[in-house]
Amino acid sequence: MSTTKTPFDSIRDDNEIREGAEELAKRDDRVGALARITLAVADGEDPDPEDCEEAGLETLPKLTGGNR
């Protein structure tokens, strides 16, 4: 069993990394959208379709099961 942390584990477990992602998520651009998507996935939530569109990842909700 691997003990390697994923970026999502780091966002969940490391306050400094999470705060950095939350700061980026405040941006109103593609970087902000990507940060919000990353935070949502790390928290086990579906990303906002508008963020997916802004980030050029329109099909992401379909891949993650979308709107559970």
Per residue in 28-46, pLDDT (tens digit) is 999 999 999 999 999 999 9
Q: Is pTM beyond 0.85 here?
A: no
The domain limits of the chain are 7-56
Query: Residues in the chain with pLDDT < 70?
Result: 1-2, 61-68
Query: Which residue in 47, 59, 56, 7 sits closest to 29, CA to CA?
Result: 56
